[in-house]
Chain A
Amino acid sequence: MNGSTKIRIIAGRLMQALPSVFGIIVVTFLLTRALPGDPAVYFAGPAADEKSIQQVRESLGLDKSLPEQFLIYLGDLVQGDLGVSVSTGFPVAEELWRRLPASLELTLLALIFSISVAIPLGIAAATRPNTWVDQVCRLIVTAGVSLPVFFTGLFMVYIFYYILGVAPSPLGRLDIIYLSPPPVTNFYTIDALIAGDFELFFAALAQLALPAITLGTFTLAPLARMTRGAMLQVLSSDFIRTARASGLRRSTVLYTYAFRNALLPILTTLGMVFSFMLGSNVLVEKVFAWPGIGSFAIEALIVSDYVAVQGFVLAMAILYVLLNLTIDILYTLIDPRVGLDS
């Protein structure tokens, strides 16, 4: 497969995503309107009378019919305008740009932590099935998945911040004494490196550590279990027996042949885990005062801030489309038998 066909296929895949994105737009639009609660009443404030509620309703454009509202929304979207969030008073695009990188940075680091713990655990368990190693692995991942995230989070804060005092104060992305680096990517660690400020880099990393570990612990289970399962399957297949019989070194058999072939299902799980983490780290955000996208969405939902909810869902949908595409491309790199055209 040469480069240009690959690009064409990727473009094709992106085109295929358009109907689903449109579907998501329609569904979110209708769902937000179906929510109980009247945003005009809410945003009119504590001392509002009927007249001021009506004024707010008109200024939000909620006095128009649903199809009319939808057309206006679509028209704005085409121009790249996600609208202005009523609850925060800022354009939704600006809010997303401010908060999405915070969530992504946290999620990616959590994922790296999760992978670096879960995959060795899974491999160890698979090479020694039903021994004490396997049992310990099972215990760790079960504990990780059964403890609620807010509990793990508060527990970590209690031990490492409150009792031991080794972790920085759980005050979001940077401790009070630091100011954020000049924004390039809005990933504070990367921006700090770009600015060449290593102290700031380590400060940002220290703030990330506890929430990332909390979030990562929760996702150890699916990754470790999937690694173990896939490895067990591959290890019992014919080509591994042949390799072993040919006297290849144990590590070569394990990593070059077995692990590479077990990677496909692991990658699939990874994709699912990533999207799951991105959407579900609200509780971690709350505990660590992390200014991420999850708390933004929940707050918008609570106050029926339609525009913000729509923008959030749309951004997530696009992110998922891109994520799935990335995973598909990674498949072709790992296993040449997999085509993109399926």
Chain B
Amino acid sequence: MRRRDFIKTMGVAAGASAIPFLKFLPAEAAGRGDTLVVVTGNGPNSMDIQRKGTNRPSYQIAVNLYDRLVGYGTKTLEDGTMMYDYQTLEPELAESWEVAADGMSITFKIRKGATFWDGMPITAHDVKWSFDRAVSLGGFPTVQMKAGSLEKPEQFEAVDDSTFVIKLLRKSKLTLPDLGVPVPIIFNSKVAKANATADDPWATEYLHRTPAGGGAFMLERWDPGQQTVYKRYDDWKNGDLPGVKRVIIREVPSASTRRALLERGDADVSLDLPPKDFAELKKSGKFTINAAPIENSLAAIGLNLTFEPFKKKEVRQAIAYSVPYDQIFKQAAFERGIPMWGGKSFSPETIEWPQPFPYDTDYDKAKALLKEAGYADGFEVPLSFNLGLAQWSEPMCLLLQESLAKVGIKATIDKIPGANWRTAALVEKKLPMHIKNFGGWLNYPDYYSFWVYQKGRLFNSMNYHNEEVEKITDETLHLEVDHPDYEPNIKKLLSIFFDEVPLIPVYQPYLDVATQKSVTGYEYYFHRQLDCRSFKKATA
């Protein structure tokens, strides 16, 4: 189910200064059935996802306050957790769409009666302006649009108020799903243009502080660093009206405090807790722990091929056989994930991704492989992790260090502060052995390969290069999944990942969200932000 609605755009202001003095939030906040209180570690730093420097928590603004043309369907996991279904696209602002017979253009019909918060109808011209903005601003939004082969303004055409056409540069299975990610949101172009200047034609300054859209929620209040408050837009037409009238998102940096707030009943939803807390909360049985495996994401060990010993496949395999998988999974991840080791065969039976790699802890095999490679006496290697992810990375490194010592490899642990991580690991790619946790938004193995295994890509911190991987990835990236060439190619690709192991997956992490039992409707999304539109709260 998709839900959103619309609101009157009033200049909802950023600072406290512009807000009229109200003694109480009208609905008396917590404890009420129509208000949802969320505590999180970090809050948004911008109302505009397309701005430079916008942080990950700001994606929730794009999700909840804006519409896209299409949304995703929902599926329910075995344990009852709901998650989005990347295989089903559902109408959002677009009532319907049609791919041309030659497959080179898509025509969208804009929903009749859909309006922005200020009551103005949403037209194809707004969509055109918004898409032009996303491909023109540069940086993150432009790169993300490009993933769906949406590259230049000439591709977008507003035929009339209710007809919008995208001309495709190439046929790609990624184009339509890419319209459902948080980036291609629809702005109220009249409001935006009125606030644009010659230096700032895309109104980045204005939209950074003031959202102008027509999504299910409108902004009631934003105190950066403290809280964000959404109010439902009751005239929203692009989905089922949200189950709660108001959402208060409070920033609480300390995880222990966030847990206490949930346990005391002052918060309805608690985010970003350490795996240990989730494990304990789940055990207590008093709360709902929604756990969905983060799609296309792996907690893994990267081996850099510029490091002499790792140039040999045998050495990489030896490392893969000396990882204490089970211990890491239990003691570092507190079992908040899906094991990615112990696969049966080096030739994959399915194209499911991610799937367990065919390795297990086997020190004898590791020693034999090292001997074969000429490293019977082992070697020394620095093992790096991102301090920002120390909660699980540090115990993982310590356990790994211990077991590498058993096969004669001396690993020295190298802690890298968050700010340096990107430079050292991803840009300079100079870390010989390191912990990775990349996850791709679009859920395909070829998309993962595109970011992580192809030569020179940002997340290929392993400096891995294999001609066959290059070829298969390029060929499959835009290919439809039901194309006859897709499956054999992906199987081949996965068998190369298995055999060459520049990347040793350990587990696929869960995204855990703890809620009160009275709260239902949490749905996992690849962007890992709360989609507040689907929440419901039982009145006590």
Contacts and interface: CB of A to CB of B under 8 A. Distances in A.
A48 B458 contact: yes
A333 interface: no
B15 interface: yes
B540 interface: no
Contact of B53 (A38, A89, A171, A200): A89
A49 B23 contact: no
Contacts of A90: 14, 224
A285 B39 CA distance: 16
Contacts of B142: 52
B52 to A, nearest CB: 6
Nearest to B387: A302
A287 B23 contact: no
Give chain A's interface secondary structure class: loop
B423 to A, nearest CB: 5
A53 B138 CA distance: 10
* Residue in A36, A176, A181, A195 whose Cβ sees the most chain B Cβ within 10 Å: A176
Contact of A87 (B55, B56, B221, B427): B55
A288 B14 CA distance: 23
Contacts of A98: 15-16, 224-225
Interface residues of B, number: 61
Contact of A37 (B138, B208, B264, B423): B423
Contact of B139 (A52, A161, A171, A177): A52
Interface in A154-171: 154, 157-158, 161-162, 165, 169-171
A78 interface: no
Interface string B35-72: 00101000001100001111110000000000000000
A89 B260 contact: no
A56 interface: yes
A89 B54 contact: yes
Contacts of B224: 88, 90, 95, 98
A55 B264 CA distance: 47
A91 to B, nearest CB: 11
Contact of B422 (A42, A55, A171, A287): A42
B412 interface: no
B155 to A, nearest CB: 19
Interface string B407-431: 0000000000111101100110000
B28 interface: yes
Interface stretch (A64-72, A234-242, A248-256, A289-297): A289-297
B261 A171 contact: yes
B430 to A, nearest CB: 12
> Which interface class (under 10, 10 to 19, 20 to 34, 35 or more) fits A?
35 or more
A87 B57 CA distance: 12
B499 interface: no
Given A162-B264, A176-B250, A195-B21, A89 B51 contact: yes
Interface in B354-392: 388
Interface string A86-111: 11111000110011000000000000
Contacts of B388: 302
B253 A200 contact: no
Interface string A263-283: 000000000000000000000
B422 A183 contact: no
Nearest to B22: A179
Interface string A287-311: 1110100011000001110000000
A36 B51 CA distance: 25
Given A55-B139, A99-B225, A181-B21, A41 B422 contact: yes
B257 A157 contact: yes
A171 B23 contact: no
Interface in A14-37: 35-37
Given A35-B419, A89-B53, A289-B253, A45 B139 contact: yes
* Residue in B208, B422, B423, B427 whose Cβ sees the most chain A Cβ within 10 Å: B422
Nearest to A97: B15
Interface in B214-228: 221, 223-227
B264 A161 contact: yes
Contacts, number: 175
Contact of A302 (B17, B257, B419): B419
A44 interface: yes
Contacts of A88: 45, 224-225
B45 A89 contact: yes
B474 interface: no
A48 B257 contact: no
A307 to B, nearest CB: 11
Interface string B123-159: 0000000000000001110111001000000000000
Contact of A176 (B21, B37, B56, B419): B37
A180 interface: yes
B267 to A, nearest CB: 8
A1 interface: no
Given A179-B22, A303-B419, A169 B138 contact: no
Contacts of A288: 254, 257
A37 B45 contact: no
Contacts of A173: 226
A73 interface: no
Interface in B496-515: none
A47 to B, nearest CB: 5
A59 interface: yes
A291 B226 contact: yes
A47 B39 CA distance: 27
A87 B43 CA distance: 12
5 contacts: A36-B423, A37-B417, A42-B423, A95-B224, A157-B256
Q: 4 shortest A-B CB distances, which residue pairs?
A: A37-B419, A45-B140, A289-B252, A43-B53
Interface of A: 35-39, 41-49, 51-53, 55-56, 59, 86-90, 94-95, 98-99, 154, 157-158, 161-162, 165, 169-173, 176-183, 195, 197, 199-200, 285-289, 291, 295-296, 302-304
Given A52-B143, A56-B139, 20 more contacts: A38-B427, A42-B423, A47-B147, A47-B451, A48-B140, A52-B138, A55-B52, A86-B53, A165-B264, A176-B25, A176-B30, A177-B28, A195-B21, A287-B257, A289-B252, A289-B257, A295-B253, A302-B417, A303-B418, A303-B419
